[in-house]
Amino acid sequence: MTPQEFTKSMAFMCNAYRQEMTDTQVSVWYNFFRDLPLEKFNLAIVRIIEKEKYFPTVATIRQELAMIDNPHLQLDAAEEWEKVLRYISKYGS
């Protein structure tokens, strides 16, 4: 993605969180994400905006990108609890 595309995406995220970033901060962040396709980066930030209350870190965005690439890493709490209950009934507590 180009620096201009990244700046536009960051402005979108900053507006969603009512957060401000300096040009220098945007430039530093760009170094962490410049290798990504724009569509993938935008998907990650939209998913984060939908579920996170606070402005994300670089690590949070990278984690979301990993979840996009590897959906099997996502855990569903209800499904995992079901597994625990099954194991308890099968093997005992």
For position 52, what pLDDT does the model report? Answer: 94
Q: What is the DSSP string of 10-32?
A: HHHHHHHHT----HHHHHHHHHH
Report how far residue 49's alpha carbon sits from residue 60's, in angstroms, rounded to the nearest whole number: 11
Reported as a pLDDT band with limits 50, 70 and 90, residue 92 is confident
For position 86, what pLDDT does the model report? Answer: 87
For position 31, what pLDDT does the model report? Answer: 97
Could you tell me the pTM of the whole model? 0.76
pLDDT digits (tens, 9 = 90+) for 8-61: 999 999 999 999 999 999 999 999 999 999 999 999 999 999 999 999 999 999
